[in-house]
Amino acid sequence: MANLTALLADAALFVFVPWVLWRILQKALQRAVLPILVGIALAVWHVPVQQMGIPSAYGNNIGWVAVLVLAFTAGLEMWQHPGGEPSGQDFAHPTLGRLFGGAAVALGIPFCVGSFLAYTVFLHLHGWQAPDATPGVAAASIGLCIAVSALPVLIGVVRELDVAQRPLGQLALKLAVVDDAALWIGLAALQFAARGSAALHGWTGLEALAVLLLVVLAAAGYWASRHFRHPPLMVIWLAVPIYLAAGSWASMQLGLHELIGAYFAGAIMPPSWVRRLPVEAVGTFALIWFAPMFFGHSGLHINGDALTWPSVVASLSLVVISMVSKIAAVYIYPPAANLKPRQALGIGALLQCKGLMEIVAATILHGQGMLSDFGFASLMVLAVISTTLTGPLFRLPAPRKAEAACGLACIGPPRWVQVIHV
């Protein structure tokens, strides 16, 4: 009974209250931002929510499953064209090499700029020195948080875009999923740099099994795309939790975030199967009613005493650094060869969204002593501000709806995916 009461209180704080605020603000802020803001406010004001059992055990589990579902549904939509099949308009499809190159540049430039400025400026500020890391590792930790794109929050942001603008969002998600994988590799590398080989686990049979499982999932998706295109609907619904669970577990065993596996699992499901699923409805339901508890709990993790005025000023500086470097990186090397400058700027605006991924990364680094309390608090503020500004920044250079409808619908999967998903 106590757990149920705690769950109801949890849902009231992070689901109902943000929804009311979202309606009052006339949808000016992203839904994913408001639960984080509520959590940060509770932490700063030292509200004793722990006495009510918040965060609740049930709420933690429900929120986590909801975010996994969001990542999975985004993967299901990854290679699908909004509004049906491509219109046939002559528009270059991004190749695999171009996508990976664009993702590398979009992550690398902000990381280098952020690390350099952290080493030369921010680590010299009072309270920013990392307790258990060298200045170089601490600077790289801040740079990694500045460079990351928030896959789960970006999923929600893209889901709220106009249909005509959705293809740009889907292209941004393709870059974000690669950058997210690089994030977790970077986290492992930083732990190795901080404490040596003891920070990493050796290769075991579980890692080999995870690789085999991913290969089997991809092979099954390829085979079904060619030989089992229209199975009974029950078969598709049974395959969904199998793909989701298997992909998440495999990525976790490989040291990657479970969200990467969930996204990958959705992306390799046969398109003919996906078109028979209510993907949009499921994703929207998870975003509105369950995921806010996960976002809200993330906001509760900060030390409210460290969120001082100097931390806020530093956060604003980090916002400028993060936005300018990310948008400039995408503009310098667009992920698709024929993207117009306005379209590249729009993708850069989406990718500068920090949100949950930065919170997760900063929490890990802070727990390992590679970020100070002041640095951690500033990065939390950065996450909220960057996510709040994502929508307005995207709409500023975004192409007109008519232009997007006639041209952008043809931004599709790379040619290698088209070959696989026939």
Domain ranges of the chain: 57-420
What amino acid is encoded at 239 in this protein? Answer: A
Give the distance, in angstroms, between the CA of residue 85 and the centroid of all CA atoms in the same chain.
27
What is the reported pLDDT for 85?
A: 38
- State the 10-residue block means of pLDDT for the chain, 422 residues long: 88 92 80 83 88 90 88 73 38 74 93 95 89 90 90 70 75 82 78 62 73 89 88 92 92 75 86 86 85 84 74 86 94 86 88 78 82 86 84 72 45 38 32
The second-level CATH assignment, the architecture, of 57-420 is: Up-down Bundle (1.20)
Q: Residues 248-269, buried b or exposed e (16+ Cβ, 10 A)?
A: bbbbbbbebbbbbbbbbbbbbb
Amino acid sitting at position 311: S
| Rounded alpha-carbon distances, angstroms, from residue 416 to 195, 412, 419, 420, 421 | 40, 11, 5, 6, 9
Ramachandran region of residue 202, left (φ > 0), alpha (ψ -120 to 50) or beta? beta
Cβ density class 346-374: b for 16+ within 10 Å, e for less:
bbbbbbbbbbbbbbbbbbbbbebebbbbb
User: What whole-number distance in Å separates Cα of residue 27 and Cα of residue 223?
Assistant: 43
Centre a 10 Å sphere on the Cβ of residue 124 and count the other Cβ atoms it contains.
11
- Give the Cα separation of 72 and 417 in Å (integer): 18
Q: Which two tokens stand for residue 329?
A: 């990186």
* Residue carrying the six token digits 């969200």: 259
DSSP state of 338: T
Question: Under DSSP, is residue 9 helix (H, G, I), strand (E, B) or coil?
Answer: helix
Query: Do 377 and 306 form a contact (C-beta atoms < 8 A)?
Result: yes
For residues 350 and 249, give the distance between their C-alpha atoms in angstroms, rounded to a whole number. Answer: 28
Distance CA 236, CA 274 (A): 8
Tokens of 222: 């390829």
Structure tokens that stand for 131 in this block: 């307790």
Distance CA 122, CA 115 (A): 10
Residue 399 confidence (pLDDT):
52
What does residue 254 show for φ and ψ, rounded to 5 degrees? -85, 5
Residue 220's closest CA among 159, 275, 265? Answer: 265
The residue assigned the tokens 């109801």 is 8
Q: 166-195 and 341-351 helices cross at what angle (nearest 10)? A: 50
Asked whether the beta carbons of 77 and 311 are under 8 A apart, the reply is no
Q: What is the pLDDT of residue 307?
A: 72
The gap from C-alpha 413 to its chain's centroid, in whole angstroms, comes to: 20
First to last CA, the chain: 52
Q: How far is CA 356 from CA 23, 243, 268, 332, 401, in A?
A: 22, 24, 24, 26, 29
- Dist CA 83 CA 378 (whole Å): 41
State the Rg of the chain over Cα: 21
- Give CA angle at 31 (366, 160), nearest 5°: 120
Output the pLDDT for position 86.
37
Q: Do 72 and 392 touch, CB atoms closer than 8 A?
A: no
